[in-house]
Amino acid sequence: MPEHSASGGGIRGGPPQGTETPRQLLPFSFFIDGQGSAITTGFKGVVDAPFNGVIVSGRLYLDQSGSIVVDVWKDTFANYPPTNADTITAGAELTISTDTDVEDLILAGWNKGFSRGDVFGFNVDSITTATWCYVSLWARRLG
């Protein structure tokens, strides 16, 4: 998990490298917990967007070497809950294949823009081995 420096000196182990400062990039994080058992497929929950922005990267972490595909859905609060029809990944879901972590800096085809109050949903399309998964979407704040 990214560590935020108490002195305001930046983020260690955090945002993708680039020209943005730590105040411009913020993570949306979601934890999928199998509670000691293997994670199952299906919808796992939501997180709200607290600002307007654009997603710039996505990361997945597993507790042990395994494989997982996580789809990200987005909808407005008025249309809650998000469904598969609200996918933003265009078939390029965040995917780990026989490893413990992955970072996608391209997010090819993704619908990356979002508005304050939008609801992001997380769906496990497939999984092997892992008992927890940490999902982190890094976004550039707009406005």
Percent of the chain predicted with pLDDT > 70 = 84
Q: pTM (2 decimals)?
A: 0.84
More confident residue, 10 or 110: 110
Digit-coded pLDDT (tens) for 44-93: 999 999 999 999 999 999 999 999 999 999 999 999 999 999 999 999 99
Read off the pLDDT band of 99 (50, 70, 90): very high
Where does the pLDDT of residue 12 fall: very low under 50, low under 70, confident under 90, or very high at 90 and above? Answer: very low
Give the pLDDT confidence of 16-28 residue by residue, as tens digits: 555 555 568 999 8
- What's the pLDDT score for residue 4? 27
pLDDT in tens, 100-138: 999 999 999 999 999 999 999 999 999 999 999 999 999
Question: Could you write out the three-class secondary structure of the chain?
Answer: CCEECCCCCCEECCCCCCCCCCCCEEEEEEEEECCCCCCCCEEEEEEECCCCEEEEEEEEEEEEEEEEEEEEEEECHHHCCCCHHHECCCCCCEEEEEEEEEEECCCCCCCCEECCCCEEEEEEEEEECCCEEEEEEEEEECC
d(CA 29, CA 18): 20
